[in-house]
Structure 1
Amino acid sequence: MAGKDDKKVEITSSTICEQGNVSLQCPKLNENETNYTIWAVLMETILKAYGLWDTIDDKEEADERITNTTKAMILQTLPKDVLMQVAQYTSAKEVWESIKIRYLGADMVQKARLLTLRSELETLKMKKNESISDFSGKLSVEIKLDNQNGNDIN
């Protein structure tokens, strides 16, 4: 839980929350929806470190000050368009669930696309009239797309 001696230091792309001798950097959620899973894991860990995760995880209503602190920590990590969409929610749990629903849908689409790309890569064959240069170009494009989606084929 955040105490009276805790400090917040604003830096260019994220916020560092200092608690005693430990500084925890809150990650920024990308606008292009590519880092939700990593963001969620890091935010959950940081909120647990500050004793704030219970406001999201518990079924019971949490103390208003703690809920507001948790909500503020989450909101400061969001892109402006997402922030404006979730600002209407009063509890940190509602904010968290709204973000989760928004990004997990995008994550599922990304995983489906990745499966399609992998399938295309596995079935990719050189045609009889195709040059080695053309084939290697197609192969490079497939590998690059796969790597951009977080898989290392090398």
Structure 2
Amino acid sequence: MSGGEPIDWPDDGVILYDGVCIFCARWVRFVAIRDTAHRLRFTPIESPYGRRLAERLGIDPANPDTNAVILGGQAYLRSNAALAVLSTLPRWHWVRLLRLVPLRVRDVVYGLIARNRYRVFGRRDSCDVSAPWLAGRVIWDQPSDPD
């Protein structure tokens, strides 16, 4: 599963991210601030909900190599996920043009960043979802089983 593939998942507009990764936390902050309509929500892979979503998408929760997003009943991973998210933000629709860059090239660049994110940007000891600006937008767990 790489991007734009149908998924049977009860929630839409959910971004899965590595909650201990400082770069990933900055990505979430970037998106949350610009998503003025609050269409997107976030789930750290360290959460029970995030772990279930990761497993459903074939992502190893112990060693995540990608973020993901569910949009319009479609699952997007790697560079496709980043472009799908950015293209939903006001004034960021132009990033759709980056889909003209071959997927293989985009994913090589994405993979370079993903593999080196801890070394370059650092990591936390635990996932912090307490930021007031994220209130109500972080999914930690849901009582219903999404399978």
TM-score (normalizing by structure 1) = 0.28
Q: Bigger radius of gyration, 1 or 2?
A: 1
Greater RCO (Cα-Cα under 8 Å, separation 6 or more): 2
Structure with the larger strand share:
2
TM-score (normalizing by structure 2) = 0.29
Structure with the larger helix share:
1
